[in-house]
Structure 1
Amino acid sequence: MPSTSLSQAEAQLYTLLVESIFWGLHVVSLVFCLRCLLRVEDRWKKAAEISKVMLCVVLLMACIGTLDLVMTMAANLNTLAARDGPGNSFNSSGWIDIIGVVDVIVQIILGDVMLIYRCFIVYSRSWRTILVPLVLACCGIVLIILVIFFQITLPSGAQLASPYFQLTIAAWAMTISINIITTGLIIYRIWSVDRNNLQLMNVANRHVYRNAQRVIIESGLLSTTVTAITVVVYITGSQVFSPLTGIDIQVVAIAFNLILIRVHHNRSLEARHATVTLGTSHPPVGPVARRSTLRFAPGTTMLSSVDGGDTVLLSVNVQGSESESRINPLESVDEKSTKHSSDLGHSIETKDVGRDASTPSSSVFTSHV
């Protein structure tokens, strides 16, 4: 009866196949992500408007994913050459495998660091909030350095019987923990802002927060699920670990790109809808329109954008006792709205039309980050 387990050569071939498919998805998401980062509406962004950090991370993840695919192709060619040559045997402990391990590790570190950074921004740059994920990330980096050391110094046959195996599992566990904790913190922050601003919004406009939660949950679930499956397969010692590793390195970048794409898409829809709302607003009746200065009461929650350095349009329409707030909760939350934040560089301009409460009025807030 033929064996159903994969040989190492077959696993390498399957890895090349599935990683090529997911690399193609990665490239598609990269194109859309670059469009979001480099263009606004119908023009290219100026250099000052481009988020340099996000752009560098997106391009670096793309380079790492491409390099890993190239290494997978080289491993397959190495396997074929070893089989054709007399007296040669398959060697998995060469520089190709070392580079492949480094690719996966660097990609995962980038994903974890950017997720912690998002959590840091969402909580108004609170170091106390990200203390646990930051400690886990530091421990993970130490474990990863040890994993690379053992990968270089130990032959492949001795790795499973050495601390390499335990260190690898611990490093994966750190990554999963960071994903779960930071994603949960971000979702809780968005939910709490939604609850606090419930009195300021119509029910129809709460979809902004629901969209934010859905974006974070779906992207975090995608990355965490693939990583968890990869760890389970690695513990069992199956050769399926190699294809799953190829998938994981691409999925980490895809999940990161999807957040940027969907944030940009939701922001564009909100800005377009706000423009339409302002364009169809009724002209002032009664007292002459005048400029006034808006002051937020203590405890009022306001949101700002830190993503691409874009200008985020926040509109509030007030009529009688009914209020409507259009805001973008995906990137940052600032609870200290009574003063300007020097590090984020907020600039708020307000125009109030009409003084009578019965007269429709509109306020437009433009936040430059």
Structure 2
Amino acid sequence: MTSRGIPLDTAAIMSTVLEGILYGFSVLMFIGTVWALIYKRRVRDVNRLIAAVTVMLLTLSTAHMIVNIIRLEDGLVKYRNTFTDGPAAFFADVSQITYVIKNAIYILHTLLGDGVVIYRCYVVWQSSRIIILPSLLWCCSAFTGFSAVYSVSQATSNAGNIFTKATGQTFFALTLSTNLISSGLLAYRIWKIECNVSALRTSNRTLTPILRVLVDAAIMYSVVLFPTLVCFVCSNNGQYVMLDMLMPIISIAFYMVLIRVAISKHAHNYLSTTFHRGTTSETVREDSHPVKPLQVHISHFTQIDDTSTHGIGSEDLPSTCKVESVEEPSCAV
């Protein structure tokens, strides 16, 4: 398959630089995610599944970045005079072990990111039926992805691109569909919950910020993945740049959701603690206090039988009802 666009050696430099910038940002997001997972929590209270996925995403991103740097050094320095056409010919050689490894890492990273979105969808919906379609798409993505990696591992020096055209288009289309469907179902469920509880809410806490960050994460991933698919269909070398950028973007999309949820939760806990300590006069304006329900304690209620009235009419008998005290409960968010 004849490729066109920017030269492959230029694409390798651009992809490594852009991936390095995004990787640095993803490391900062990783630190924020770890803080969100362990802040004011005991070790046994930490979600171990999410923590494991967080570490795995960083590990795969780091491994991909290292392989890209090694590959860049091999093509531009170590083997620059080995190939007749120079460095561009080296980067076009799919039989290089670094090429196989970096694409295997990409497949694993993509499947892990899509699996996290499907898992979130299951947790929010609490139904296995709702994730049947995304799970089938995920399995198809795994099959096509690992088939492509196997094909590349068996390729010769003149084999061409990483994927056959059909396999490449199928993989990118499947992973894009999986992400969009899962994210759409997740956002719809949260939106419906927000609509149902908005009329009954007694505090300012809302799910809208979480809904927005979920949508933003899906859009950010799709904005990079869709041009990658277009470049692949057009046999444009820009696909290599876009593919390397996808690695840290998948991690960033995962981290940003966890951090936003943690910020919302910690803000809610802080307000609750502040109210319970009775410092509302320092933190909240008086006119922002909600109306507080009153508790009325009735000491006793006496009813007299007709037989003990000695001829006095029942309409003359007052019911004895005494209000002892009125209390205002403490305000809690």
Check whether TM > 0.5. yes
Deviation at 1:85, TM superposition (A): 4.2
- Name the counterpart of 1:46: 42
Deviation at 1:108, TM superposition (A): 0.6
CA contact (8 A) 1:12 1:243 kept: yes
The one-letter amino acid of 1:225's match is V
Deviation at 1:275, TM superposition (A): 2.2
Alpha-carbon RMSD: 2.6
Name the CA distance, whole Å, in 2 between partners of 1:363 and 1:175: 48
Name the CA distance, whole Å, in 2 between partners of 1:130 and 1:86: 49
Unaligned runs of 5+ in 2: 281-289, 298-325
Counting only pairs closer than 5 Å after superposition, residues 118-129 of structure 1 correspond to structure 2 as 118-124=120-126, 126-129=127-130
Name the CA distance, whole Å, in 1 between partners of 2:157 and 2:130: 40
CA contact (8 A) 2:15 2:240 kept: yes
CA contact (8 A) 2:292 2:328 kept: yes
- Name the counterpart of 1:65: 61
The one-letter amino acid of 2:103's match is V
Q: Give the 3-state SS of the residue equivalent to 2:199 in structure 1.
A: helix
Deviation at 1:9, TM superposition (A): 1.2
Change (3 A) 1:319 1:143: same
Q: Give the 3-state SS of the residue equivalent to 1:84 in structure 2.
A: coil
How many pairs does the alignment contain?
Answer: 287
Name the CA distance, whole Å, in 1 between partners of 2:141 and 2:131: 15
**Do structure 1's residue 237 and structure 2's residue 235 form an aligned pair?**
yes
Name the CA distance, whole Å, in 2 between partners of 1:252 and 1:59: 13
CA contact (8 A) 1:172 1:231 kept: yes
Q: Which protein has the bigger helix share?
A: 2
- Name the counterpart of 1:167: 167
Deviation at 1:61, TM superposition (A): 0.8
- Name the counterpart of 1:84: 81
Deviation at 1:199, TM superposition (A): 2.4
Counting only pairs closer than 5 Å after superposition, residues 1-369 of structure 1 correspond to structure 2 as 5-40=5-40, 45-80=41-76, 81-85=78-82, 90=90, 91-124=93-126, 126-155=127-156, 157-159=158-160, 164-201=164-201, 205=204, 208-280=206-278, 319=292, 354=295, 360-361=328-329
Q: Give the 3-state SS of the residue equivalent to 1:200 in structure 2.
A: coil
Name the CA distance, whole Å, in 2 between partners of 1:9 and 1:200: 60
Deviation at 1:110, TM superposition (A): 0.5
CA contact (8 A) 2:94 2:100 kept: no
With normalisation by structure 1, the TM-score equals 0.71
CA contact (8 A) 1:318 1:360 kept: no
Name the CA distance, whole Å, in 2 between partners of 1:355 and 1:189: 40
The one-letter amino acid of 1:75's match is R
Name the CA distance, whole Å, in 1 between partners of 2:106 and 2:61: 9
What do the CA deviations read for 1:331-350 (whole angstroms, capped 9, x no partner)?
xxxxxxxxxxxxxxxxxxxx
CA contact (8 A) 2:94 2:157 kept: yes
CA contact (8 A) 1:318 1:362 kept: no
Name the CA distance, whole Å, in 1 between partners of 2:118 and 2:328: 42
Change (3 A) 1:156 1:355: farther
CA contact (8 A) 2:194 2:206 kept: no
Name the CA distance, whole Å, in 2 between partners of 1:56 and 1:252: 16
| Percent identity for Structure 1 against Structure 2 | 21
The one-letter amino acid of 2:105's match is D
CA contact (8 A) 1:12 1:76 kept: yes
What do the CA deviations read for 1:264-301 (whole angstroms, capped 9, x no partner)?
0111111112222333499xxxxxxxxxxxxxxxxxxx
Name the CA distance, whole Å, in 2 between partners of 1:128 and 1:362: 43
Structure ID, larger Rg: 2
Name the CA distance, whole Å, in 1 between partners of 2:164 and 2:237: 17
Change (3 A) 1:265 1:156: farther
CA contact (8 A) 2:15 2:241 kept: yes
Name the CA distance, whole Å, in 2 between partners of 1:5 and 1:169: 18
Deviation at 1:39, TM superposition (A): 2.2
Unaligned runs of 5+ in 1: 283-316, 321-352
Name the CA distance, whole Å, in 2 between partners of 1:86 and 1:60: 36
CA contact (8 A) 1:319 1:359 kept: no
